Structure 1
């Protein structure tokens, strides 16, 4: 079942096209990545889904129904431009956001306590937002986006401002939310986060969707038949000049292009050189695919 279906979506600002005939189908219960350089249309798409701005044309369905105001309570949103009230205390702010999303006073208090404890910031609950570090304020903003247990959670650059330790905390919470059945729409420039978290992705460039699908399928689509071979080499044997040495020592590791060979033929050739200690295919990273695709479509 698709929690979100986007059909022929268009949006322009004056003569500038922000979104051009965008189609997306986002299944329930997965982490879906929205990728693209600045100005590609990602934030415009997110704002339309959140009904902050209007589309020019096209359709958006939420669980099979045309997206309406009543669906806002089922959506959590962490904007890139954080929107906390700087003079309010952490506790008051989170209770306020929870009540705004429809929680009763007792449920709001309970949920706020649970999340402050989970994020290890209970001791900060009586602090004002402008007394917090950027990373601590980010945690508060994250809690405000998910405290009402929405079915769809939209996270725009959720790791911005976090040190590696706290980025790991947020990553684990994102995975836990998915385990509990939430669908997450993740917009980020951090390709390592895409690799670690996303089930499917869509890539945007200059207002258009240029690539979409399951992460594993996309990586296979752009495979370049390169393999990493580790060999305990016999030094009298001559290594083919096309093999690129990437780690030396008694056990040498090479990057080898398959070219016109089969993997069996490559392994047979490697076995003539010494004892094989490791053999794996090197798939391109999402960062490599991202850069390649953006360059291709920008020059096309």
Structure 2
């Protein structure tokens, strides 16, 4: 199994006076899924377009396996753009076969790969339909197949899960894992943070054109504040008056808190026990959505 590496180093792009991407750097290792997340206008799509050479860079460099990326390298990357590029009047099989041939496949190999992927997505009976006759979700499936069917050396996918039903998401996940098992790098953007958290080995979080966090979910969690949830037998509002802790939220008998002084921990538990029952005291593992809100706020 080969293991490729895509590197983005200090990419910058402006549109007039607006700085859309400001010194963005990250790596996409082979054999891993890297989630690219950020709000609308954060710079994700612009960054992906620069990686693919569709937009000129105003600074920085993209490298493939340690060398500046070339046009030939980019031809071996499966790319799914944010704005879909299908011909609505053309039949599904004919269109995908043509796209495969443009990527260097023979007509027979392209047709075989198309039919295999259509079957994986449950679309084999739609192969002779025009794209415009398909639902938006099925059009999304066809666009995904266009990026995957050539057995690319890397995948860059802009919102690939948008509009897919749960069964199609599962099929897509299986396909992506088959590609990472071959050692190729996969970078995809998504607003579905629960899905990103479940799938990704690494995350890159963008805000206002800059990388504000990067690493594995575990690394991002460990870099954040350590918080605890305390559940008492009675009201927990009195915790706000204790020294050495910061109470983030109180909901009746349950409080979410953070120690500003570790010496306050035994004092807190002693005071709580003196007031009544301590039903639960546990460290809270933040969800990706909580991490995202903190690093982008």
**Pair in the same fold by TM > 0.5:** yes
Residue of structure 1 aligned with 2:217, choices 190, 207, 215? 215
Q: Which residue of 2 aligns with 1:124?
A: 126
Q: Which residue of 2 aligns with 1:23?
A: 25
2:175 is the counterpart of 1:166: no
RMSD: 2.8
Secondary structure at the aligned position of 2:60 is classed as: strand
Give the deviation of 1:172 after TM superposition: 3.1
Give the deviation of 1:275 after TM superposition: 10
Normalised to the residue count of structure 1, the TM-score between the two structures is 0.83
Task: Work out the number of aligned pairs and report it.
Answer: 282
- Structure 2 unaligned segments of length 5 or more: list them: 240-248
Contact 1:223/1:284 (CA < 8 Å) preserved in 2? Answer: no
Q: Which residue of 2 aligns with 1:250?
A: none
Q: Which residue of 2 aligns with 1:49?
A: 51
Q: Which residue of 2 aligns with 1:154?
A: 156
- Structure 1 unaligned segments of length 5 or more: list them: 247-252, 296-300
Q: Which residue of 2 aligns with 1:134?
A: 136
In terms of mean alpha carbon deviation, does 263-272 or 140-149 score higher?
A: 263-272
- Cα separation, 1, equivalents of 2:273 and 2:116: 58
Q: Judging changes above 3 Å, is the alpha-carbon distance between structure 1 residues 122 and 268 closer, same or farther for their aligned structure 2 residues?
A: farther
- Cα separation, 1, equivalents of 2:102 and 2:273: 66
Q: Which residue of 2 aligns with 1:249?
A: none
Q: Which residue of 1 aligns with 2:98?
A: 96
- Cα separation, 2, equivalents of 1:271 and 1:93: 70
Give the deviation of 1:256 after TM superposition: 5.2
In terms of mean alpha carbon deviation, does 69-78 or 266-275 score higher?
A: 266-275
Give the deviation of 1:25 after TM superposition: 2.1
Q: Which residue of 1 aligns with 2:81?
A: 79
- Cα separation, 1, equivalents of 2:264 and 2:86: 56
Alignment of 1:1-300 (within 5 A): 3-227=5-229, 242=239, 257=257, 259=259, 281-295=283-297
Give the deviation of 1:264 after TM superposition: 9.4
Give the deviation of 1:27 after TM superposition: 1.5
Contact 1:155/1:185 (CA < 8 Å) preserved in 2? Answer: yes
- Cα separation, 1, equivalents of 2:230 and 2:178: 34
Secondary structure at the aligned position of 1:85 is classed as: coil
In terms of mean alpha carbon deviation, does 254-263 or 25-34 score higher?
A: 254-263
Normalised to the residue count of structure 2, the TM-score between the two structures is 0.83
Contact 2:78/2:152 (CA < 8 Å) preserved in 1? Answer: yes
Secondary structure at the aligned position of 1:57 is classed as: coil
